[in-house]
Amino acid sequence: MGSTPYTTGAAEGSQGGNASVGELLGEVTRDLSTLMRQEVALAKAEATESAKQAGKGAGMFAGAGVAGHFVLLFLSIALWWGLGDLFDSLTWSAVVVAVLWGIVAAVLALRGKKEMAQAKGLPRTQETAQKIPNALKGHEEKNA
């Protein structure tokens, strides 16, 4: 805060006391408004920087996912060729690799289904919210 052209009521005497208090309150209000604007601008700048860093991190995770996918792809191809030498048939080795990936997909799907079944908080909350009007009226809902 810089120096102000306003003087205090004590310096002006009792005549200008009300005007000085009003001017001081106006100045304090302006200073608080400026401070709040500066704080909001600082918060926006910090949020923008944080969002940029989070975006970079998300991009790195996406790149890691793509790289991981290629690792699995090439390991699967290597397994296919290795089993092809063992079975003397690339066709049957491809079937074996496909069946292995099918088993992995089925296990993951069943685990995902189980997790989703446990995460049904919203429908339960909706059911409970629908019972509230009856509870307020004094009616009990019977369980089936």
Angle made by CA atoms 7, 11, 14, in degrees to the nearest 5:
105
Provide the pLDDT for residue 123. 58
- Average pLDDT value over all residues in the chain: 81
Q: With 0-12 CB in 10 A as exposed, 13-18 as middle and 19+ as buried, what is 23?
A: middle
Lowest-confidence pick of 48-62, 89-103, 108-122: 108-122
On whether the pTM is more than 0.75, the answer is: no
Regarding predicted confidence, which is higher, 45 or 129? 45
Closest to 80 in 3D by CA, of 70, 69, 94: 94
Q: Hunting for tokens 């009007």 — which residue is that?
A: 133
Read off the pLDDT of residues 33-75 as tens digits, 9 standing for 90 and up: 998 999 999 999 999 999 999 999 999 999 999 999 999 999 9
The listed range with the strongest mean pLDDT (10-19, 49-58, 117-126, 132-141) is: 49-58
Closest to 73 in 3D by CA, of 3, 134, 81: 81
Evaluate whether 20 touches 8 at the Cβ level (below 8 Å).
yes
